[in-house]
Copies of this chain bind each other. A is one copy, B any other.
Amino acid sequence: MAEFRHDPVHRRWVIVTVDRTRGPEDFQVPERVPDEGFCPFCEGQESKTPPEIYAVRDGSNPDRPGWKVRVFPNKYPALSDTHEKIQRGAHGLYDWINGVGCHEIIVEHPHHHVLFHQLKPDHLELLVQTYRARLAALMEDARFRYIMLFKNHGPTSGASVNHQHTQILAMPVIPRIAAMALATAREHFHQKERCLFCDLLDQELADGRRVVTENEHFACLVPYASRFPFEMAILPKQHNHDFSGLEDNLIRPAAEIIYQAIGRLAKLFGDLPFNLTLHTAPSTGQSAKRAGYWGTLKHDWHWHIGIIPRLGTTHGFEWGTGLFINPTPPENAAGFLREVQL
């Protein structure tokens, strides 16, 4: 038997299997793609990448060894920052915008073989600071409406380079999923003058069945209507719409909750492929004013991180409908993850 569950943020139904459920031992973790030898992301190969935009360094010179985290433009960007203006147009029923954007690579560690789940909270702090700094810088560019920070790890995740890295894509449109979730959260705030995510957090923390781990400032949950087995969400307990404005005292707790979430997943599955996505508010300031979504944005949105293990494949059914079948009830997944000793 199964159950339909409704996700109140994304307004989508998922099918959750409640008999013949799948536990951690029922998934086959795909093997790592072998390394191809030379890696431009490694310390010492700085001349093989575009010049760096940002780095965490102890006094060493830019584009030289001696960094801990390093950011540079993607050599093969999905969108290109040619300092062009945004152009918008139509062909009959269709609309287009020229492909202006920024596509950055954040190399998370100088050493090739260090995996994300092996990064300790001290190092993850540097990464969280880097994320905040790059988001804050890109928010200043009035051409962009939305900035997506994401990480592809492992063979089925879309990663093309094994060396651990995060990507940022700043773009002149708000993608559909984000636009819909924002509209839903805004409607909730307008009706109730409460944040939808704060309400969800209250309910989840009181219930407890889907809580994986928490600290004073953050909670890590398995969402009620998860699309994927062992999917997780990390939310700040105190309302905040914008990751780029993360307060200094939240950097350590953020690093610790990421360490806990990824570490628990790695204890259950080893080096599994996953995607991590940061869902912060659309660009604020001038950009939001022109696009007309500023309004109550500060109250509507609540930033969060999504973690999607890539343990299976997606079916035609899921592509055609947006309706996912999840063979691991979120309560079971949270139970397995909660029991892990780190």
Please list the residues of chain A having a beta carbon within 8 angstroms of any beta carbon in chain B: 1-6, 8, 10-13, 15, 17-18, 20, 76, 78-80, 82, 91-99, 146, 148, 150-152, 156-158, 167, 169, 171-173, 175-178, 196, 199-200, 203, 207, 224-225, 275-277, 279, 306, 308, 313-323, 325
- A4-B98, A148-B317 are known; give 7 further A-B pairs, CB within 8 A: A2-B78, A11-B176, A158-B318, A178-B322, A275-B320, A276-B316, A308-B319
Q: Could you list 14 A-B pairs, sorted by A, with CB under 8 Å?
A: A2-B78, A4-B172, A5-B96, A8-B94, A15-B78, A17-B78, A20-B76, A92-B207, A146-B321, A148-B320, A158-B314, A275-B315, A276-B316, A279-B320
- The residue on B at minimum CB distance from A315 is B158
Cα A16 to Cα B225 with chains together (Å): 31
Q: Which of B8, B95, B158, B178 contacts A321 (CB 8 A)?
A: B178
Cα A323 to Cα B148 with chains together (Å): 10
Tell me if A's interface is mostly helix, strand, loop or mixed.
mixed
**B175 and A4 within 8 A (CB):** no
Total identical chains: 2
| Complex interface: chain B residues within 8 A of A319 (CB) | 275, 277, 308
**B94 and A313 within 8 A (CB):** no
Closest CB in chain B relative to A259 CB, distance in Å: 19
**A313 and B158 within 8 A (CB):** yes
Cα A159 to Cα B157 with chains together (Å): 19
Q: Which of B18, B175, B317 contacts A13 (CB 8 A)?
A: B175
Cα A97 to Cα B6 with chains together (Å): 9
**A2 and B79 within 8 A (CB):** yes
**B316 and A3 within 8 A (CB):** no
| Complex interface: chain B residues within 8 A of A6 (CB) | 94-96
